[in-house]
Amino acid sequence: MTLNGGKTAVILFNLGGPDGPDAVQPFLFNLFNDPAIITAPLPFRWLIAKIISRRRAPIARDIYAELGGSSPLLAETEAQAKALETVLDDPLQTVRVFTCMRYWHPMSDAVARDVAAWAPDQVILLPLYPQFSTTTTGSSIKDWQRAARKANLNVRTAAVCCYPQDEDFVAAQTRQIRRTLTNVTGPRRVLFSAHGLPKKIIDAGDPYQFQIERSAEAIAREVGLGVGEWVVCYQSRVGPLEWIGPSLDTALAQTARDSRAAVVVPISFVSEHSETLVELDIEYRKIAGDVGVAQYHRVPTVSINPGFIETLAKLVKLTMARRGICPPDNQRFCPIGAVGCACAARPHA
């Protein structure tokens, strides 16, 4: 499948991360000042973000110190962008892939200006979040739309909503898991670990948990995992609110009681960063040892895995063909109650 001619700008969205110790607190402020994260109106949200970012900054600096003082996420995303641009190379189409981070540089305003200066004929918004959430993809697209208006970027734009069950994404994850499983001896349990969310966000209609579960089901089926050999769980909880569960530490404790090896799959993350390299590889590995898990294995993210980059390229082409924001089959699959779904305006499939 070829693209449609002219110049296409692909905007690759990711979370972002601090590029040094001094950037940690402002990065956290940007995160908690996002109305998709803290729903309180201004000026209360600004004040809450100031308080939380000041309190959490020392803890976060210690986390990033494990990574040399900064987040590797920008470099990782840029590598994915370069690989995607190579795959999308087409004699009939000029494609340039721009990286755009939500909470630290390069952010929407600067990227939108760069895109406007390049003067594309069309723009495709591509989140590195396979599962849609109002707090990730929804927030990034909304902020991009604001920045694009500010930059007078008035060109045809289409967006990828989500790809939780995309067969190529599932296949890429499956290959990563199978490679890791070759190092496991004895009974095992695959723990599909996703970034958690406060329960109130899901109760308000965010489809994230539903889509995480569909991803895990599809991948477990492809890997050939049976009942009791896999579970969905969540990590990264902060604050006093009730979060969706079960938590990863709870799942690890149950895995130890069942005398199984733990194989942790970061199912909502496609790039290596602090939540994989520190949380999963250091903090949860220690928790696993403390609760008696004899073997702890962490599956790498799909990162620049050729199968995953081909997945992204396919999504770009399909999105331009349909000019829409819904999944590749152009059908809503989230339940009726998931009013936060990007396809909520479409009839339920």
Residue 347 has pLDDT above 50, yes or no: no
Mean pLDDT over 137-163 rounds to: 96
- Higher-scoring residue by pLDDT: 203, 318: 203
Q: What is the CA radius of gyration of the chain?
A: 20
| Residue of 96, 171, 140 whose CA lies nearest to 325 | 140
Is 271 within a domain?
A: yes
DSSP characters over 258-315: TT-EEEEEETT--S-SHIIIIIIIIIHHHHHHHHT-S-EEEPPP-TT-HHHHHHHHHH
The reported pLDDT for the residue numbered 348 is: 39
Residues 159 and 227 in one domain: no
**How many residues in total does the chain contain?**
349
| pLDDT the model gives residue 3 | 57
Judgement on whether residues 234 and 111 belong to the same structural domain of the protein: no
Q: Are residues 290 and 316 in the same domain?
A: no
For residues 83 and 88, give the distance between their C-alpha atoms in angstroms, rounded to a whole number.
9
Same domain, 179 and 53: no
Largest Cα span, the chain: 59
Q: Which amino acid is present at 17?
A: G
Q: Are 41 and 141 within one domain?
A: yes
- For residue 327, is it within any domain? no
191 contacts 255 by C-beta, under 8 angstroms: yes
Residue 139 and residue 19 in one domain: yes
With cut-offs at 50, 70 and 90, classify the pLDDT of residue 95: very high
Query: What is the SS3 assignment for 322?
Result: helix
CA atoms within 13 A on the CB side of 141: 22
**176 & 50 share domain:** no
Quick check: 248 and 264 in contact, CB under 8 A?
A: yes
- Residue 344 counted as domain residue: no
Rounded Cα distance between 4 and 18, Å, is 37
Mean pLDDT of 280-284: 98
Distances (CA, A) of 48 to 33, 34, 51, 200: 8, 11, 5, 18
Average the pLDDT over 82-95 and give the result: 93
Same domain, yes or no, for 16 and 150? yes
Query: What is the model's pLDDT at position 343?
Result: 82
* 228 and 260 Cβ atoms separated by less than 8 Å: no
Domain match, 28 and 159 both: yes
Within 10 angstroms of residue 263's Cβ, the number of other Cβ atoms is: 25
Question: What's the pLDDT band for 349 if we cut at 50, 70, 90?
Answer: very low
- Would 96 be classed as within a structural domain? yes
CA nearest 67: which of 275, 302, 316?
A: 275
204 & 216 share domain: yes
Asked if 122 and 320 count as a contact pair (C-beta separation under 8 A), the reply is yes
How many domains are there within the chain? 2
Q: Is 2 part of a structural domain of the chain?
A: no
Q: How far apart are CA 170 and CA 166, in angstroms?
A: 6
Neighbours of 321 (CB within 10 A): 14
CA 315 to CA 8: how far, in whole Å?
Answer: 14
> CA 60 from chain center: how many Å?
19
Residue 214 in any domain: the answer is yes
Mean pLDDT value of segment 53-74? 97
**Short-list 82, 93, 80, 24, CA closest to 53:** 24
Round the average pLDDT of the chain to a whole number and report it: 94
pTM score of the predicted model: 0.95
Residue 79 has pLDDT above 70, yes or no: yes
Q: Which domain holds residue 83?
A: 7-163+306-322
pLDDT digits (tens, 9 = 90+) for 216-266: 999 999 999 999 999 999 999 987 889 999 999 999 999 999 999 999 999
Residues 221, 145 share a domain? no
User: What does the pLDDT average to over 287-302?
Assistant: 98
Q: Contact 62/21 with Cβ under 8 angstroms?
A: no
Distance of alpha carbon 13 from alpha carbon 170, whole angstroms: 20
Q: Are 107 and 139 in contact (CB under 8 A)?
A: no
Residue 239: predicted pLDDT: 79
The answer to whether residue 37 scores a pLDDT higher than 60 is: yes
The pLDDT value recorded for residue 330 is 61
| pLDDT band of 324, cuts 50, 70, 90 | low
Backbone phi, psi, residue 238, to 5°: -140, 150
Residue 129 and residue 68 share a domain: yes
Phi and psi angles of residue 230, each rounded to the nearest 5 degrees, phi first:
-155, 155
CATH of the domain at 193: 3.40.50.1400
Q: SS3 for 223-257, per residue?
A: HCCCCCCEEEEEECCCCCCCECCCEHHHHHHHHHH
Nearest to 314 by CA among 190, 92, 166, 212: 166
For residue 138, being part of any structural domain is answered with yes
Confidence (pLDDT) at 328:
53
pLDDT in tens, 153-204: 999 999 999 999 999 999 999 999 999 999 999 999 999 999 999 999 999 9
pLDDT band at 325 (very low <50, low <70, confident <90, very high): low
In a domain, 139, yes or no: yes
